[in-house]
Amino acid sequence: MGSQARLAITLLSVGLLAAQTGCHRGAGGASFLSLFGLSEKPVVVALVAKPGTLDPFTPHEKLRLAMSETIKRPVRLDLCLPIVLEPNLKLGFYDFALVTPACYAEMRDRQRFEILAVSVDRAGHPARPAVLVVAADSEIKNVAELRARKVAFGPRHDARTHHAGLALLSEHGLKKSDLSLSLLPLPGSLKHFSNARQIALVVQDGDYDAGFIDELAFEEFERGPVAEDAPDRDQLRVIASTVPVPDLLVIQSPKVDQQVVRAVTDFLLAVDQTHPEALRPLLLSAYQKPTAKLCAWSEQLTNPPPGDAE
């Protein structure tokens, strides 16, 4: 076999391998030269695909450029499916990943992937709860009174308004099956809504007895008088809060060089001072070190009560 034929087969094999990893390469993508060691290998950061997100790369572009400039290495963003994240981190195809706490909680060997940093939201909170609200004039006073009631949840698999919400109910002796459940999409389903506004409206209008709303969204609701189709904070009453949960975690592959880990960690912990403009498109104000208090959500989200997993 000639050298050109061997090169063609090698390039085809590499292309097939990349296709099988379930990723989509974003800005900063590596060329075939880097795969063969002919140029500097990029630091690869995985972004887990979120339903309905049309362009996940643009909001992260300023952060990618700032990281590359600071650590003096090319940085590549790859979009991946949750199902392939864990094996690709184990094999070292990804060096780091930006994941939600819910995604992290669903990883089988999550203890192998150290949390380097947690994001701080635009209000300055590294973690925040969902609030459980009822109508202001509701007879419901506490969580235990929601048995056989209709409860609205946020998007399916959302860390705060779904997983942490179920954990709160469990703390008060309620299982998913204790609620009044929906017939759609399947009998016995929780009712999920795509945003806080929808949840607030169905609760204040009396269509649902209670609902879980991200605390930040709840605090941004206006107080009456408001437009007819707008949430009115005065028409809602908070009866409980879930465990506080961060927006995003930065985790590392066990294969990544520790010098790179230190460089990336130092960059993230200082980015609010060195490149604050890189955080604005992400609606974040900083990153900070994980602490036991910040990770208190982990036990609840990783051990759902029997029968509550969806």
308 within domain boundaries: no
Of the candidates 225, 241, 257, which is a domain's last residue?
A: 241
**pLDDT, the chain, mean:** 87
158 within domain boundaries: yes
Same structural domain for residues 88 and 19?
A: yes
Of the candidates 241, 259, 293, which is a domain's last residue?
A: 241
Same structural domain for residues 201 and 113?
A: no
Instruction: Give the tokens for residue 46.
Output: 């995985």
310 within domain boundaries: no
Structure confidence at residue 194 (pLDDT): 94
DSSP conformation class of 164 = I
Same structural domain for residues 27 and 167?
A: no
Structure confidence at residue 297 (pLDDT): 85
Instruction: Let me know: does 110 contact 302? Beta carbons within 8 Å.
Output: yes
Same structural domain for residues 139 and 285?
A: no
DSSP conformation class of 145 = G
Average pLDDT over residues 71-80: 96
Q: Which helix (H) or strand (E) holds 270?
A: helix 258-274
Instruction: Let me know: does 249 contact 109? Beta carbons within 8 Å.
Output: no
32 within domain boundaries: yes
Instruction: Let me know: does 245 contact 160? Beta carbons within 8 Å.
Output: yes
Same structural domain for residues 197 and 134?
A: yes
Domain that holds residue 212: 130-241
Of the candidates 241, 265, 285, which is a domain's last residue?
A: 241
pTM confidence score: 0.81
Same structural domain for residues 107 and 252?
A: yes
Structure confidence at residue 13 (pLDDT): 39
Same structural domain for residues 61 and 148?
A: no
Lowest mean pLDDT among 32-36, 140-144, 146-150, 216-220: 32-36
Structure confidence at residue 299 (pLDDT): 75
Same structural domain for residues 252 and 116?
A: yes
3-state helix, strand, coil in the chain (%, to 5): 40, 20, 40
Same structural domain for residues 193 and 79?
A: no
Same structural domain for residues 85 and 229?
A: no
**CATH code assigned at 116:** 3.40.190.10
What's the total number of domains in the chain?
2
CA neighbours closer than 13 Å in the CB half-sphere of residue 30: 25
Same structural domain for residues 147 and 116?
A: no
Same structural domain for residues 226 and 252?
A: no
309 within domain boundaries: no
Instruction: Let me know: does 260 contact 251? Beta carbons within 8 Å.
Output: no
Residue 289 makes CB contacts below 8 A (sequence gap 6+) with: 117, 118, 269
Instruction: Let me know: does 66 contact 268? Beta carbons within 8 Å.
Output: no
307 within domain boundaries: no
Instruction: Give the tokens for residue 292.
Output: 């036991």
